[in-house]
C-alpha cells in the first residue's frame, strides 16, 4: 500500500482537503437524510391532518344538516305551539263529540237490545205457535186420513148399494114386466 501511496504522490494538503471534503460531504449527506426523514414525517403528518380535516369537514357538513333539520323542527314546533290553543279547543270539542257519540251509541245499543229481546220473545212465541200449528196439522192430517179412509169405505159401500139398487131395480123391472105380462094374460081380450 505504501507503493500505492507513493505512486499517487499525494500531498498532505491534498489528504487534508480530501478529508475535509469527505467530512463536509458526510455532514451534508447526514443533513439531507435528516431533512428527508423530517420531510417524510411531516408529509405523513400532513396526510393524517388532511384525512382528519376531511373527516372534520364531513362531520361539520353532517352537523350543519342536523342543525338545519333542528331549525326546521323548531320552526314546525313553533307553528304547532301557535296553533296549540286552537288544537286544545278542537281536542275538547272532539272529546265532547266522542262523549255524545258514546251516549248515543249506548242508548241505541240499549234500544237494539230491547228490540232484539222483543224479537227473541216474538220468535219464541212464533216457535210456540209453530209447534201448536204443527200439532194441529198432525191431528188434522190424522183426521183427514181417517176421513179419507171412511170416504173410501163409504164410496165402496155406495158402489155396493148402487150395484144392489141397480140389481134390485133390474129385478123389480123384470118382476114388473112379469107381473104386467101375467096381468095382461089374465085380462080378457075384450077389455084390452
- pTM for the full predicted model: 0.33
Q: What is the pLDDT of residues 40-99, one digit of tens each?
A: 999 999 999 999 999 999 999 999 999 999 889 888 877 777 776 777 777 788 888 888
Residues in CB range of 87: below 8 A, 6 or more apart: 80
191 — pLDDT class (breaks 50, 70, 90): low
Q: What is the pLDDT of residues 13-35, one digit of tens each?
A: 777 888 899 999 999 999 999 99
Per-residue pLDDT, 47: 94
In residues, how long is the chain? 192
Per-residue pLDDT, 190: 56
Per-residue pLDDT, 6: 58
| pLDDT reading at 2 higher than 60 | no
- Residue 98 sits at the vertex; the CA angle it makes with 97 and 102, to the nearest 5 degrees, is 120
Residue listed under C-alpha cell 134390485: 168
| pLDDT reading at 10 higher than 90 | no
CA end-to-end span of the chain = 216
Q: What is the pLDDT of residues 120-177, one digit of tens each?
A: 788 888 888 888 888 988 898 999 899 889 889 988 988 888 888 888 888 888 888 8
Per-residue pLDDT, 188: 61
Amino acid at each position: 500500500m505504501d507503493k500505492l501511496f507513493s505512486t499517487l504522490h499525494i500531498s498532505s494538503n491534498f489528504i487534508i482537503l480530501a478529508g475535509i471534503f469527505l467530512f463536509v460531504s458526510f455532514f451534508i449527506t447526514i443533513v439531507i437524510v435528516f431533512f428527508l426523514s423530517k420531510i417524510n414525517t411531516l408529509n405523513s403528518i400532513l396526510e393524517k391532518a388532511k384525512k382528519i380535516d376531511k373527516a372534520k369537514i364531513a362531520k361539520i357538513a353532517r352537523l350543519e344538516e342536523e342543525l338545519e333539520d333542528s331549525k326546521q323542527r323548531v320552526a314546525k314546533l313553533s307553528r304547532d305551539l301557535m296553533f296549540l290553543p286552537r288544537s286544545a279547543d278542537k281536542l275538547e270539542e272532539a272529546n265532547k263529540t266522542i262523549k255524545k257519540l258514546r251516549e248515543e251509541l249506548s242508548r241505541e245499543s240499549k234500544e237494539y237490545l230491547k228490540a232484539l229481546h222483543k224479537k227473541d220473545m216474538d220468535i219464541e212465541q212464533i216457535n210456540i205457535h209453530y209447534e201448536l200449528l204443527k200439532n194441529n196439522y198432525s191431528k188434522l192430517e190424522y183426521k183427514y186420513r181417517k176421513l179419507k179412509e171412511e170416504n173410501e169405505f163409504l164410496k165402496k159401500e155406495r158402489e155396493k148399494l148402487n150395484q144392489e139398487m141397480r140389481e134390485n131395480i133390474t129385478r123389480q123391472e123384470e118382476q114388473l114386466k112379469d107381473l104386467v105380462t101375467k096381468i095382461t094374460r089374465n085380462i080378457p081380450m075384450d077389455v084390452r
